């Protein structure tokens, strides 16, 4: 018999398809020593009781309370890690003013490594407490600060994809916060890649370097070309912004005579390992290109309400076989809760439909899919589902209205999507390891 790391007993909720979330009331979810789900055993299976008893005897059974449910952990596809201290600030300002008056000065402070460690320790702990088991991060331009973020993610147990932000265009970036030249930007990126790979090798932390041009306006052509070559050389993920705003789209047309997506593609930055944030202004031609390149999109609904000039056409994008996940876009989005972003995704889609876009509305099941399967697929990780062979990235969530509301499965599910906050997330696991505990020392089993 396989020796398990932990066995959960209780109800599970897991996305099955874009339109459907499955609710299973009584199962054993068995996690092996590698942190992978080895079996999901129904109460009607012949060996349910024997496996349960063996788990009790080994002191590894985690019984989920009746008012709690086991859900997959979330993947956040767009986090600006150094912007965490300004989350919720100056969101009434135009994007250009917000960047130059608030954001760039803040990011420049991360050359101070003590400051970086303090901020990143708080950020990663808060993300885990909110059920985010995997994060795709923009760092700052500072290699050493980005490595501190990687070490903290490794120490606290979050799976992390991290990029050294590249921005060398003197016309669009401030002199106090930019890469000194294209040569410096590319060499520092390669140093960061190699040090991240070494850190992974030395510590076993689940961390991956990511090629990260901030966006087309912030980079010179030489740098965009070089980043595309580095992505190919090291076979790495890529992240950037694409068609976030009217201004960004127009910049690409004015300076390159191409659409934003076409510029990124020209330099090898649209690949099946790329995740592009926002996409509120993507044209039908752009979407065809994304489908051809199998590039994923990070939908950032809170941020887009402030800076996106529109709402991403999620349903339409999905029908074109383009993968979509969710991003908080800290700090263009004020909340690092994926639950809060699921709620906003649904609300924004309803407003999009009211403005004339047909069949734009998203359901709770749609938003949950984006938060789980969509995000995991974008990063090519076996996560986001409670299913055999998938990583045991899990959260135990309490239904705070269990005693007074309907206990029909669909209504429980929708209630969790709309009402869950940090206090309701009782435990979080990454690859079967407990990384957040809101139950107290004696209540972990």
For 379-419, write each residue's pLDDT tens digit: 999 999 999 999 999 999 999 999 999 999 999 999 999 99
pLDDT at position 442, please? 43
Percentage of residues of the chain with pLDDT beyond 70: 98
The rounded mean pLDDT for the chain is: 96
* Distance, CA of 335 to CA of 126 (rounded, Å): 11
How does residue 309 score in pLDDT terms, banded at 50, 70 and 90?
confident
pLDDT at position 249, please? 87
pLDDT at position 234, please? 98
pLDDT at position 173, please? 95
Q: Mean pLDDT across the stretch 93-120?
A: 95
pLDDT over 70 (residue 321): yes
* Distance, CA of 31 to CA of 142 (rounded, Å): 38
pLDDT over 80 (residue 256): yes
23's CB contacts (< 8 A; 6+ apart) are 11, 12, 13, 409, 410, 412, 413
Lowest pLDDT segment from 306-320, 368-382, 424-438: 306-320
User: Tokens 């135009």 correspond to what residue?
Assistant: 94
* Strand intervals (E) in 107-224: 132-138, 159-166, 207-213
> How many Cβ atoms from other residues are within 10 Å of residue 332's Cβ?
29
* Distance, CA of 193 to CA of 59 (rounded, Å): 41
Burial class (CB within 10 angstroms; exposed 0-12, middle 13-18, buried 19+) of 361: middle
pLDDT at position 1, please? 55
* Distance, CA of 68 to CA of 398 (rounded, Å): 4
pLDDT at position 440, please? 66
Mind listing the pLDDT tens digit for each residue in 332-368?
999 999 999 999 999 999 999 999 999 999 999 999 9
Mind listing the pLDDT tens digit for each residue in 281-308?
999 999 999 999 999 999 999 999 998 8
Domains in the chain, ordered, with CATH?
6-72+385-443 (2.30.40.10), 74-378 (3.20.20.140)
**What tokens were used for 387?**
């299913």
pLDDT at position 96, please? 84
DSSP 254-312: HHHSS-HHHHHHHTT--STTEEEEE-TT--HHHHHHHHHHT-EEEE-HHHHHHHSSS--
CA-wise closest residue to 35 among 434, 430, 437, 435:
430
Mind listing the pLDDT tens digit for each residue in 167-202?
999 999 999 999 999 999 999 999 999 999 999 999
348, containing H or E segment: helix 338-354
């Amino acid at each position: 018999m396989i020796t398990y790391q932990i066995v959960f007993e209780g109800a599970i909720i897991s996305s099955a398809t874009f339109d459907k979330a499955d609710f299973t009331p009584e199962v054993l979810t068995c996690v092996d020593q590698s942190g992978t789900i080895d079996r999901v055993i129904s109460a009607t299976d012949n060996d349910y009781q024997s496996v349960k008893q063996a788990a009790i005897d080994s002191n590894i059974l985690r019984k989920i309370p009746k008012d709690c449910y086991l859900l997959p952990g979330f993947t956040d596809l767009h986090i600006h890690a150094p912007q965490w201290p300004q989350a919720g600030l100056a969101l009434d300002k135009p994007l250009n003013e917000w960047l130059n008056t608030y954001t760039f000065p803040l990011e420049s402070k991360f050359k101070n490594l003590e400051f970086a460690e303090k901020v990143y320790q708080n950020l990663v702990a808060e993300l885990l407490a909110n059920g985010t088991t995997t994060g795709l991060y923009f760092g700052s331009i500072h290699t050493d600060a980005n490595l501190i973020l990687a070490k903290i993610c490794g120490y606290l147990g979050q799976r992390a994809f991290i990029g050294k932000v590249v921005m060398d265009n003197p016309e669009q970036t401030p002199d106090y916060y930019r890469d000194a030249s294209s040569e410096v930007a590319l060499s520092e990126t390669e140093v960061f890649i190699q040090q991240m790979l070494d850190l992974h090798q030395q510590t076993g932390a689940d961390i991956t370097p990511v090629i990260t041009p901030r966006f087309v306006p912030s980079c010179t052509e030489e740098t965009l070309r070089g980043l595309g070559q580095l992505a190919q050389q090291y076979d790495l993920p890529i992240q950037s912004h694409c068609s976030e705003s009217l201004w960004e789209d127009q910049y690409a047309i004015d300076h390159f005579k191409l659409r934003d997506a076409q510029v990124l593609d020209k330099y090898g930055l649209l690949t099946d390992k790329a995740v592009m944030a926002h996409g509120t202004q993507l044209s039908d031609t752009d979407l065809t290109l994304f489908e051809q390149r199998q590039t994923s999109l990070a939908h950032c609904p809170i941020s887009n309400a402030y800076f996106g000039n529109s709402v991403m056409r999620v349903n339409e994008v999905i029908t074109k076989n383009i993968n979509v996940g969710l991003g908080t876009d800290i700090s263009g989005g004020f909340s690092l809760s994926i639950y809060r972003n699921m709620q906003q995704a649904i609300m924004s889609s309803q407003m999009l439909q009211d403005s004339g876009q047909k069949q734009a509305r998203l359901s709770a099941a749609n938003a949950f899919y984006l938060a789980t399967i969509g995000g995991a697929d974008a990063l090519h990780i076996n996560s986001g589902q409670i299913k055999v062979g998938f990583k045991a990235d899990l959260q135990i969530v309490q239904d705070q209205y269990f005693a007074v509301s309907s206990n029909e499965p669909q209504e429980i599910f929708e209630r969790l999507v709309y009402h869950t906050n940090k206090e309701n997330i009782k435990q979080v696991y990454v690859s079967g390891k407990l990384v957040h505990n809101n139950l107290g020392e004696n209540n972990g089993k």
